[in-house]
Every structure is written in C-alpha cells, then in structure tokens.
Structure 1
Amino acid sequence: MTMATLSSAFLFIFSCFLACSISVSGRPATFLEDFRITWSDSHIKQIDGGRAIQLILDQNSGCGFASKRRYLFGRVSMKIKLIPGDSAGTVTAFYMNSDTDTVRDELDFEFLGNRTGQPYTVQTNIYAHGKGDKEQRVNLWFDPAADFHTYTIIWNHHHIVFYVDEVPIRVYKNNEAKNIPYPKFQPMGVYSTLWEADDWATRGGLEKIDWSKAPFLAYYKDFDIEGCPVPGPANCASNPRNWWEGTAYQALNAMEARRYRWVRMNHMIYDYCTDKSRYPVTPPECMAGI
C-alpha cells in the first residue's frame, strides 16, 4: 500500500470518527459542562473541581438542576449517594422530561426517604404522550446512603430500562403496534431535584419530615449522558448504528432477565399493574412482558 493510499485511508477513518463525534453527545463530564442550576443555587455546592456536587435541603429551600441540552434516545447515568439516617419526607429525584405542558413524556427515578433503619424505596414512573400514573416501587437491597451507586436509564426504539448498578428494576417495551403509547418523538432533558414531599413520600404521608435532622444532603458524581442532542444532526435519533440501538440493548440478556425477576419477586412493594382499586382492568402495557 502506498503512502498516498495510507493517507487517504487515515483521512477517511478520521472523517468517520468526526461524524460520529458530532452526531452523538456523551462523556463523563464535570457538572457545569452539561448542567445548569434551575433553582436555589445556594443549595448546590460543587466538590472536587466540579466532578461532584452536594445537594442541600433545609427549611428554607430544596434545589434542582437540569441538563443544558435535550436528547432523543440514548443513555443517562449518574452515581448518587442518598441522604443518610432519618430521611423521611424527602424525595431525591433523577429523571428525564420533555418539558412540555400538555403532552408530556417523562422517565422518573424518585428516591423516597424513610425512618432510620428502614429501607429506602425507589419509585419509577413513565409518562408517554401525556399519560402517566405508571408507578412501581422497589425497596433497595442495600444502603444507598452508605456509598455511591449507579442509576441509569437506557432509552431506545425497543424499550426503556431503569438500572440500579447493573440490575434492571423496570422495563417498558415499545408496543406501539398494540396502540400502546411510547415516548419517541419528543427530546427530553435530564433533571434532578431534592425537595420536601412529606404529604406523600413516606408511608403515604404518615411519616413527616423531621427538620431537627436538617440539613439533608445528597451527593452526585460521574455525570454521563450519551445520546442524540436536540438541536443537533436531524438523522442522529433514527440512526440504527447508535450503540444503544444495537442488538445487545434491544432486550434484556439472560443474566439481566434473572436479576429483573429477582427484584420483582423479592423487593417490589407496589406495582400499578396489580392495583385493582386504581385499574380494575389491567392496563395493556402490563401484559407485554419484558
């Protein structure tokens, strides 16, 4: 192969690399690279040169932040260390939201605080084409305030999966062929908030927040968003070569399916699919499986 041929090959590979780089946004980032504070900036403190942050809830205020951009399909992941000790009445939320008033799409992690010694509950919810009320609750099988754990949402054309570390706790399949709504048209931003919700968060509001334990502190690090930014290349979201659209991410593998069943058998404490008081007729998406 001549030097000219080698040079042409290198330029071709480099141009392909650049094309992929501008189509798909993603890398572990410092906080201010990808995010902005949305409320109460005095209650969010940067740590370790912006590679981690502390969220603060006290009687004056909670706080929140959001991604600077919105994304259509991809993966978002953060490591979070939740409020230790007596966290009843608090909610630490990590979610994606289309930020549209009437026809909202949203994918929620909500960590519901509890009394000291009781398990932390994570509630997931999904809004598709404006319809939500799809809550599931799982008691975490570890102490999420003792150390950082990774919370991830994968969203592609095939399904949405919520992961705790590498364990899938929620799967929502794309069943548009059965006329079941699936979020795929609206880009979503990435959000997080720490706030007081003692009217519902812990045992349905029976356990109230104990302000003598304030301030309540949660920590975040390893912010990682990989997806198609909007505005951005128009063909990115439909590109089947995006890694999150690959065969390995179109359904749970055998190990993930076992872990998913284990969570549902041993740690699920509420599933809207089986709540006959709310849904006398089982919602159609609940019969779609994984």
Structure 2
Amino acid sequence: MHSLLYNYKFFLLLASLITCSTIAGSTRHGLSPPTTTRLTGLFPRLTFDKSFSDFFGGQNIKRAGNGSVVTIALDKHTGSGFMSRDPYYYGFFSASIKLPSTYSAGVVVAFYMSNYGSYPKSHDEIDFELLGHEKRKDWALQTNVYGNGSVSTGREEKFYLWFDPTQDFHEYSILWNSHHIVFLVDNIPVREINHSVAMSKAYPSKPMSLYATIWDGSDWATRGGKKPINYNFAPFVASFKDFEMEGCLWNQTKSSSPSCSNNNVNDRQGLDPIYGQDFIKLSQQQKVAMDWVRSKFMFYSYCNDAKRFSAIPPECKERNS
C-alpha cells in the first residue's frame, strides 16, 4: 500500500513538472514585445543566386520560389551552408529564418559574419547561433563576437525567444558599423556592443562575408554536450528568405585597406546603415525594447560568469559603470 501511494505521489510530481515546463514555455511564447522601429524592409530584398554561393554540403541546399527561399539541411552524412559572394565592410545584414520543428538536440543553425578564410590568425566574427532543443524544451539563441582573433575570450550571451521559431519565419538581423554592433530579432534589439575604448582591440574591424550554416554541435550545443544529435529525426531542415545586405561592398582588388563612402551604400531618404543617424545609436524606444528582452529572456552572459573568468573582461566593467 505504501509502495502504491509512493508511486502515485511520484507520478503526480512528475506530471506537475512536465505541465509546469510546458506552461513556462507557452507563457514565454505568449508575451508580446514592445513596439519599436522596423529596420528590416528598408533595403532591397536579394535573390539567392545573385548574392550567395554554396559554402559546403551543396547537395543539402535547395532553392524554391526562383531563389527567394532557400533550405539547408543536416543529415548523418553532412551539414550544409551558403555564403555571400562578396565581403562587406560595415552594414546591415538580415534574413528571415524558420527552424527545424523536430527533436533537435545538438543541432546548430548559424547566421553570422566572418573573415576566417582571409585572416585565419586574426579573424573577426559576429554570430547568431540557434541551438537545438530536447523534447518540451525551447531553442536557445546565442550571440557572440570575436575581433582580431580574440577567440580566447568568448563573448557569448544566451536567450530564450518569445515565440516558437519552428512555426513561422522570424527576422534575425546584424547591424555593424564603426559605432556599434546590434543583434536584432524581429527588429527588437537583443544585444548592443559599443565600439568603446575597452573593446577597441577586440572590435571586428576587417571586411567580412555573411554565412548561413547548419551543422552538428553535439559536443557542446545542448546542455554542454550532454545531449548529442539523434539522427533518427534527420534530416534537420532550416529555411531562409527575405535576404538583405546593405553596406560597403568590399572589392579586394581595389585597395588593401578598408574604405567606404556614401557612394557604396543606399542613401535613399538617408537610409545609410554605416553613417545614418538612425543607425549609429539606439533610440529610446529601441533601448526600452532591448531592456525588455534582456530582463525576461536572457539566461547567460559572459560578463556574469565568475567561474569562467578570474578577472571580468574590461568591456563588461565599462558597460556596468
């Protein structure tokens, strides 16, 4: 009798935990973000074949809608990815992304900028990394920045999302210029990195290409590598559309040092992601929206990781001062 009662209580506790987990996720997805300025849609939408080329795993890259929609897949043989045909020096970069809806622990979908191929020992990087989930868990969004090869200081910040990224397309955007780097999700800033004195040596400062990839991150992506990919759920497919790349198109044959003029960018109605007043600092409305995201959805910041860093990175002290 005691055994039956114990098992019954255990069952009720387990059911309660599962229900709470489900409610927590659904509650998070039901929250509405503050209204803020739309930066996506200001610049021309690009077709895939004119602006991008295959990076790897070409057999897993599919085009639809005359190149307006592209899917990349990960299976047990290979991941896949594509890259911009040209590098850029500063600008605004965006795509709408829909993530795999199956059990996806260990899967990484990345939308990022990098120049590793040109500067393997001193490369720059600006990363969106979407990390797969277990059953009844959410995809996680990780952002990161490397400047001039500063890979020994990973500047990760991790967030949950206020929507289900597998049910529809959502916009992921990077604004990068000499003033700041801003990560935006559906036009809501989730993170800003100012080009400050403390970040001067680690601030991305060389032309970069734009990449989108899907790959196996079993050794780290989900619960620190405790949940590897289960290829019984493969292929894992991520879809991309609504591409925007507006900035200084970098022609490596013309100069050995970065330079940019307004002739290189779209200055219609003053829409300039490099020098334009709407892009060099966040508006008060954008700051409020970013505070909303960071207070409710951010669950990790390298600036708060005392176990990892014996001395807090200098830009964290500057940000908190």
The TM-score, its normalising length taken from structure 1, stands at 0.86
Q: How does 1:44-83 map to 2 (within 5 A)?
A: 44-83=61-100
2:121 alignment counterpart: 102
Taking the aligned partners of 1:288 and 1:119, their CA distance within structure 2 comes to 32
2:143 alignment counterpart: 124
Number of positions where the alignment pairs a residue of Structure 1 with one of Structure 2: 264
Residue among 139, 160, 164 paired with 1:139: 160
Q: Shift in Å at residue 238 of structure 1?
A: 5.3
Taking the aligned partners of 1:152 and 1:218, their CA distance within structure 2 comes to 16
Letter in 1 for 2:279: Y
Q: Shift in Å at residue 123 of structure 1?
A: 0.7
Residue among 184, 188, 195 paired with 1:174: 195
Taking the aligned partners of 1:118 and 1:218, their CA distance within structure 2 comes to 18
1:206 alignment counterpart: 226
Taking the aligned partners of 1:118 and 1:252, their CA distance within structure 2 comes to 32
More displaced 10-residue stretch of structure 1: 229-238 or 249-258? 229-238
Mark the runs of 5 or more structure 1 residues left unpaired by the alignment.
1-25
Taking the aligned partners of 1:138 and 1:116, their CA distance within structure 2 comes to 18
Deviations 1:121-147 (A, max 9, x none): 011110111113111111111100100
The TM-score, its normalising length taken from structure 2, stands at 0.78
1:20 alignment counterpart: none
Matched, 1:36 2:80: no
Matched, 1:193 2:213: yes
Q: Shift in Å at residue 151 of structure 1?
A: 0.4
Residue among 247, 256, 260 paired with 1:237: 260
Change in Cα spacing, 1:219 to 1:179, as seen in structure 2 (3 Å) is closer
Deviations 1:171-222 (A, max 9, x none): 11001377553222x1000011101111110111111211111111110001
Deviations 1:83-135 (A, max 9, x none): 11311110000100012201111000000000132111011110111113111
Taking the aligned partners of 1:199 and 1:123, their CA distance within structure 2 comes to 16
Matched, 1:249 2:266: no
More displaced 10-residue stretch of structure 1: 223-232 or 150-159? 223-232
Letter in 2 for 1:45: K
Letter in 2 for 1:69: D
Q: Secondary structure at the match of 1:248?
A: coil
Taking the aligned partners of 2:200 and 2:75, their CA distance within structure 1 comes to 45
Q: Is the 8 A contact 2:102 2:236 kept in 1?
A: no
Taking the aligned partners of 1:138 and 1:175, their CA distance within structure 2 comes to 24
What percentage of aligned pairs have identical amino acids?
39
Q: Shift in Å at residue 236 of structure 1?
A: 5.5
Shift >2 Å, 4+ stretches: 176-181, 232-242, 287-290
Change in Cα spacing, 1:50 to 1:39, as seen in structure 2 (3 Å) is same
Q: Shift in Å at residue 248 of structure 1?
A: 1.8
Q: Is the 8 A contact 2:124 2:148 kept in 1?
A: yes
Change in Cα spacing, 1:213 to 1:101, as seen in structure 2 (3 Å) is same
Taking the aligned partners of 2:114 and 2:311, their CA distance within structure 1 comes to 28
